[in-house]
């Protein structure tokens, strides 16, 4: 039986969804049922439930603001979860583990697109280095177990993920949910304009959560190397175009202004997914389709829940 850890999250909930869609049973304990910060609980759960393949999608995740305000949980909780789960996978003799890394493990000034071999070749981006260090340690732990014990622990590197159950309008928001929330509220308030940070020239890569989950299920079957594997879409978009696309989907007709005194961040951040393409796995959901589905979920769930608005 497969086990999804983090099954209530943005990525984990879609991993559960695609398992069920493919008729594959899986376990997905909540954090209340299984607190991954507690080694005894983790070991007891694994010995009792005997999972064969494990997706480690549980982590402390957040945007720039959360990362810079609360660095301790980003390094401490993530390291602890990884130590507990990876050790337990070994003790409970699971067949395979997939560890979810993040593209922030690549150097700040990395050549673009970022190939797997650029890992650990330069200084990290300071705004999320605590989180990145924990992720790097997770990858290295998987490699160390494979080297010493011959285990089959793989690490994947997705780009920015978006989709249903994302963090909308809170300190943990990433760029797409933050933009959806901001533009939706501007439309609801009939605001004549919205001001965006930066020039909009920076380019970013985004993958729809269900698309990523389908990819991860295939990678679990087909990929067996200790080397990290990028699992992106292969294309990026400028923040300017992204904002205009989201405004069109939401139907916001006001003016979109740019505050160029605010920083743009890295000019480009795109993972090179050709290694994944070479094993026959590709992303299939377009950004526009993914955004439509995400906004539909936001309207149905988040907007109604927080403001009492109806569609
Ligand atoms: N989001 C992105 O853009 C992105 C990009 C690249 C890689 N990733 C990676 O993908 C993975 C999943 O990210 P996500 O965006 O799905 O995160 P998320 O939506 O914040 O979900 C995190 C999950 O981890 C669980 N969790 C946290 N602490 C736990 C604990 N102590 N015990 C048990 N469960 C715990 C949460 O459970 P509760 O809800 O019950 O707290 C939740 O199910 C992470 O490893 C992340 O680094 C994400």
Exposed / middle / buried, residue 93 (Cβ in 10 Å: 0-12, 13-18, 19+): exposed
Cβ–ligand 1 distance for 212 under 6 Å, the answer no
CATH superfamily of 163-203+235-269+286-307: UDP-galactose 4-epimerase, domain 1 (3.90.25.10)
User: Which residue intervals of 92-228 are DSSP H helices?
Assistant: 129-149, 175-188, 209-222
d(C-alpha 163, C-alpha 285), whole Å = 12
| Ligand 1 close to Cβ of residue 161 (< 6 A) | yes
Within the chain, how many helices (H) and strands (E) appear?
A: 11, 13
Instruction: Verify whether ligand 1 is closer than 6 Å to residue 35 (CB atom).
Output: yes
Ligand 1 atom closest to 99 (CA): 45
Q: Which of 5, 9, 216 has most ligand 1 atoms within 8 Å of its beta carbon, as the pocket-test mutant?
A: 9
Going by C-alpha positions, the residue among 198, 305, 180, 161 that lies closest to residue 245 is 180
Spot the catalytic one: 131, 162, 295, 302. 131
CA of 8 to the centre of ligand 1 (A): 8
Please list, residue by residue across 101-125, b when 16 or more beta carbons sit within 10 angstroms of its beta carbon and e when fewer do.
bbbbbbbeebebbbbbebbeeeebb
The domain locations on the chain are 2-161+207-230, 163-203+235-269+286-307
- Per-residue pLDDT of the chain (311 residues), as tens digits, is 999 999 999 999 999 999 999 999 999 999 999 999 999 999 999 999 999 999 999 999 987 778 888 999 999 999 999 999 999 999 999 999 999 999 999 999 999 999 999 999 999 988 889 999 999 999 999 999 999 999 999 999 999 999 999 988 776 678 999 999 999 999 999 999 999 989 999 999 999 999 999 999 999 999 999 999 999 999 999 999 999 999 999 999 999 999 999 888 788 999 999 999 999 999 999 999 999 999 999 999 876 656 544 33
Helix (H, G, I), strand (E, B) or coil at 302: helix
CA angle 150, 98, 235 (to 5 degrees): 125
> How far is Cα 243 from Cα 137, in angstroms, rounded to an integer?
35
The pTM (predicted TM-score) of the whole model is 0.95
CATH number belonging to domain 2-161+207-230: 3.40.50.720
Residue of 61, 67, 157, 228 with the most ligand 1 atoms within 8 Å of its CB, for mutation: 61
Between CA 234 and CA 25 the distance in angstroms is 31
Give me ligand 1 centre to Cα 280, in Å.
Answer: 27
3-state secondary structure of 5: strand
Cα of 6 vs centre of ligand 1, distance in Å, is 5
70 catalytic? Reply is: no
């Amino acid at each position: 039986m497969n086990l999804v850890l983090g099954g209530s999250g943005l990525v984990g909930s879609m991993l559960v969804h695609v398992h069920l869609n493919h008729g594959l049973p899986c376990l997905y304990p909540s954090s209340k049922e299984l607190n991954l910060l507690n080694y005894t609980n983790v070991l007891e759960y694994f010995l009792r439930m005997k999972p064969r393949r494990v997706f480690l999608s549980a982590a402390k995740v957040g945007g720039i603001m959360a990362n810079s305000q609360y660095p301790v949980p980003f390094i401490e909780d993530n390291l602890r979860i990884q130590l507990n789960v990876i050790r337990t996978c070994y003790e409970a003799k699971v067949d395979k583990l997939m560890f979810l890394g993040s593209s922030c493990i690549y150097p700040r000034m990395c050549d673009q697109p970022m190939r797997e071999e650029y890992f650990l070749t330069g200084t990290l981006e300071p705004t999320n280095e605590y989180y990145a260090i924990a992720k790097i340690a997770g990858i290295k732990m998987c490699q160390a177990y494979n080297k010493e014990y011959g285990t089959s622990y793989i690490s994947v590197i997705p780009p920015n993920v978006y989709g249903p159950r994302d963090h909308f309008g809170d300190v943990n928001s990433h760029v797409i949910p933050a933009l959806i929330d901001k533009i939706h509220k501007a439309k609801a308030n009939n605001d004549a304009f919205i001001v965006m940070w930066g020039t909009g020239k920076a380019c970013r890569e985004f993958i729809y959560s269900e698309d990523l989950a389908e990819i991860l299920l295939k990678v679990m079957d087909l990929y067996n190397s200790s080397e990290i594997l990028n699992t992106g879409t292969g294309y990026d978009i400028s923040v300017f175009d992204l904002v205009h696309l989201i405004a069109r989907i939401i139907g916001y007709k006001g003016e979109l202004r740019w505050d160029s005194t605010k920083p743009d961040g890295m000019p480009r951040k795109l993972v090179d997914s050709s290694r994944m393409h070479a094993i026959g796995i590709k992303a299939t959901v377009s950004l526009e389709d993914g955004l439509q589905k995400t906004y539909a979920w936001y309207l149905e769930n988040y907007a109604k829940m927080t403001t009492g608005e109806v569609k």
